[in-house]
Amino acid sequence: METCLFCKIVSKNIPATIVYEDDRVLAFEDIDPKAPVHTLVIPKKHFSTLLDVAESDSDLMAHLLFVSREVARRKGIAERGFRIVTNCNPESGQSVYHIHLHVMGGRRMLWPPG
């Protein structure tokens, strides 16, 4: 999608600090981190929100989750604890309409989130 910020990161038209990449998924550092570790994991395929993902993309979504877990391991926060978050639509605070998982940790995470 030409106008999408994260599609531009996928196509390398906008720079990002990439921490993992394969044929289906990209992980890169959040530009405005809210925790010592704050990495975004996205499918290369564009979906505006979680509501746009079809059952036929179940494998991709599972892969996204496994890559997020691998990011937590590589960042050294897997054992102490981490959080995976996705926001969907305005009231959640979603600001970029290309689905992404936030992998966050390196500090005690509050619950419930604000």
Residue 55's φ and ψ, nearest 5 degrees, are -55, -35
Cis peptide before 15 (omega within 30 of 0): no
Residue 51 or 79 having the CB closest to ligand AMP? 51
Indicate which of Zn ion, ligand AMP, none lies near residue 7 (CB less than 5 to 8 Å, by partner kind).
Zn ion
CA 44 to mean position of chain CA atoms: 11
Residue 57 CA to residue 39 CA, distance in Å, equals 22
Q: Does 4 bind Zn ion (CB under 5 A)?
A: yes
Residues of span 47-86 touching Zn ion by CB under 5 A: none
Least gap, CB of 1 to Zn ion (angstroms): 5
Q: Are 19 and 28 in contact (CB under 8 A)?
A: yes
Residue 16 or 25 having the CB closest to ligand AMP? 16
Per the annotation, the verdict on 102 as an active-site residue is no
Span of 19-27, 30-38, 73-81, 106-114 interacting with ligand AMP by CB under 6 A: 30-38
Interior angle at CA 104, CA 39 and CA 23, nearest 5: 35
Catalytic site residues?
A: 100
